[in-house]
Structure 1
Amino acid sequence: MGATKIEGSTMEKQAELARLIKRFSHQDGVLTTAIPSLHFVRSSNTTVPIHQVHEPALCIVTQGRKVVMLAEESYHYGTSDYLVVSVHLPISGQVIQASAEAPYLCLRLNFDPHQVLDLIKESAFPTSPMPDSRRGLYVSQTNSLLLDAVVRLVHLLENPQDVPVLAPLVIREILYRILQGNQGESLKQLVMTGSHSNRIAEVIKRIKQDYDKPLRIEELSKLANMSPSSLHRHFKEVTAMSPMQYQKQLRLQESRRLLLSESADAADVGFQVGYESPSQFSREYARLFGLPPISDIKRLRSDQDHQTT
């Protein structure tokens, strides 16, 4: 009986959250809110894979389904799951269940890993680093305690004057509930100073900062206080890819953004993001996005025109 009540409470909270997101999401796209770190995502159609560098965030789907690809790994999640991304990761995301009658609805709450670290320091969570690194992305099952806090956060949008004072408190509770989840240890390890995962997080920051510069494994190994082989192993545990593959993803995604936002020559953009060979840039771009740079940008602009007409 107790388990049935808990399950019923979870379903009620999911339904309430879906109603709230519908109320505040009047059109498709990524919608900002009065809470700077809180966004709603709505789509009335299934989508092609959309590439992005995902920042640390909690994502909860309240209607529809989505699949996220990290390197060769796929993560499916829907109304009974939530997704946590704990470091910047180059991914592709595809809405696989949506319609005009029942659009895909998702809540995304971005967070700073320092918020999590402060919470751990002030709580009773164990703080001894574990030897193994943890993946920087995972899917876990939602529960009524997490959903209750998320619903209260969204309700604050009805009274914007309450947001500056109450939103930080509720966000803190949400992060606490994630840490309490059955995969909360993964998030914990990535923020705890001295853990292998945390040292890899520092390497990720450096690669992201210097993505257009030559990758120097010796410098990254020194930064992480690891041997090159250990760095490679732990980096792959966190990101599902090697440091070189990670940098390549950053370069190609940034090049696509530049080509879409500017009338720049593809070869010039390739040089701008760190490629020395235009042919190599075009080849690797087509391998990731399915078409060479110019053809891909024409397709994307055509898709954008169709969406606005």
Structure 2
Amino acid sequence: MQQPLQARMVERLQALATAEGYTLTALPGVRLLRSNRPLARTPVLYDPGIVIVCQGVKRGYLGGQVYQYDAQHYLAVSVPVPFTMETEATAEEPLLAIYLHLDLQMAADLVLELDGRVDAAPAQAQSMMSSPMQPAMQASVLRLLETLGDPLEAAVLGPARVRELYYRVLTGAQGGAMREALAMRGRFGRIGKVLRHIHGAYATALEVEGLAAEAGMSVPTFHAHFRDITGTSPMQYVKSTRLHQARLLMLRQGITAEAAGLAVGYASPSQFNREFKRLFGLPPAAEVARMRRSFALPPAPVDAAYVSSH
């Protein structure tokens, strides 16, 4: 049975997200999601952000861990990570969710403002966190949804509502881990710098030695820290980024697999087709048809440095 706050959140989302797929809002970094059907496990690449599920269930699998985000938990992602995701939804009870692309400047400013004012117990930075939805967080989500229903309120009050949600995340159960991740200190910060470099230059020739030098680490140390943070090796991450980007190019621009492969840095069409099928389980044309048939196309990410395929 839904609690009163959750029921009101679902009611507002039902009214705002009437069509299946993504619904853009008056706030560039905020979009709504509705899915009337389940989605089997599929590879995704999340860019930094917050995913709040008000009805239905999403489940992510990364590095042997399961991250569930549903009406009781939200997901926070501090750096782009490739993982496998599945969705539970039906036509009678569709998945209803909010996705907030992380405004790194707003988040960093808030971290500075919170410095010294909240529990500063040591916390290890994490790339992905599933945290409990406390009543205060639900109330903040509801206020944002109510604001999005009015264009003037969304324009004037929307940014403050988003900032309020960031505050809830940064002071919540795993706020310390998120604040530490956003501070980009130590090994996490150096790997984060490399991830940004990869997302800005994935179509160029990238070698592990150069990426390790970018992080200021030896190759073995870089490998270990990179895998610890992203759940994969550096070159597998580069390959995954290229393939996710190629899939989005084919979806958004209708280009051929060969053109998409060339655009993301593959010289050999046969190698691109082989590695694409290995990641997604289908050849490029069949995977694009499946995506069009089974789910709505996500809009282009706000921050071009990252690729998002939720």
User: Could you say whether these structures have the same fold, taking a TM-score greater than 0.5 normalized by the shorter chain as the test?
Assistant: yes
**Quick one: which of 75, 83, 89 aligns to 1:91?**
83
Q: Give the conservation status (yes or no) of the 8 Å contact 1:81–1:142.
A: yes
SS at match of 1:48: strand
Deviation at 1:87, TM superposition (A): 1.5
Q: CA deviation at 1:233?
A: 2.0
- Give the corresponding residue for 2:194: 203
What is the correspondence of 1:1-309 to structure 2 with a 5 Å cutoff?
11-70=3-62, 73-96=65-88, 98-123=89-114, 124=116, 134-262=125-253, 264-300=255-291
* 227-236 or 238-247, which deviates more: 227-236
After TM superposition, give the deviation of residue 29 of structure 1 in Å. Answer: 0.7
Q: For residues 219-257 of structure 1, what are the alpha-carbon distances to aligned partners after superposition, in whole Å with 9 as ceiling and x for unaligned?
A: 323332322222222222221111111111111112222
For 2:282 and 2:201, locate their aligned partners in 1 and report how far apart those are by CA, in whole Å: 26
TM-score (normalizing by structure 1): 0.84
- Count of aligned positions: 295
Query: 1:156 offset after TM fit, Å?
Result: 0.9
Give the alignment's Cα RMSD to 1 decimal: 2.8
Name the CA shift for 1:177/1:300 in 2 (closer, same or farther; >3 Å): closer
Deviations 1:122-162 (A, max 9, x none): 123579896x9633112111101111111111111233222
Does the C-alpha gap of structure 1 residues 160 and 296 become closer, same or farther in structure 2, counting only changes over 3 Å? closer
C-alpha change, 1:199 and 1:127, in structure 2 (3 Å) is: farther
Q: Deviation digits for residues 73-131 of structure 1, max 9, x if unmatched?
A: 432222111111112223343212x222211111112222222211111123579896x
Cα gap change, 1:133 to 1:231, in 2 (>3 Å): farther
Q: How far apart are the structure 2 equivalents of 1:261 and 1:111? A: 22
**Structure 2 length-normalised TM:** 0.84
Gaps of 5+ in 2: 297-310
Match of 1:231, SS state, is helix
Does the C-alpha gap of structure 1 residues 34 and 265 become closer, same or farther in structure 2, counting only changes over 3 Å? closer
**For residues 208 and 304 of structure 1, do their structure 2 counterparts lie closer, same or farther at Cα, with a shift above 3 Å needed?**
closer
User: Which residue identity does 2:149 align to in structure 1?
Assistant: E
3-state SS of 1:214 partner = coil
Q: Distance in 2 between matches of 1:213 and 1:50?
A: 26
* Aligned counterparts of 2:129 and 2:215: Cα–Cα separation in 1: 23
Structure 1: stretches of 5+ with no match in the other structure? 1-7
Counterpart in the other structure of 1:5 = none
Contact 2:22–2:33 (Cα < 8 Å) also in 1: yes
Distance 1:224 1:143, change over 3 A: same
Does the 8 A contact of 1:114 with 1:191 survive in 2?
no
Summarize the Cα distance change of 1:240–1:127 in structure 2 as closer, same or farther, 3 Å threshold: farther
With over 3 angstroms needed to count, the CA separation of the structure-2 counterparts of 1:59 and 1:296, relative to structure 1, is closer
CA distance in 1, matches of 2:198, 2:74: 28
Deviations 1:50-74 (A, max 9, x none): 5443222111111111222336543
Q: Determine what percentage of the aligned residue pairs are the same residue.
A: 33
Structure 1 pair 129–116 and aligned structure 2 pair: CA distance change class (3 A) = farther
Task: Please identify the structure whose Cα radius of gyration is greater.
Answer: 1
Counterpart CA distance in 2 for 1:171 and 1:36 is: 11
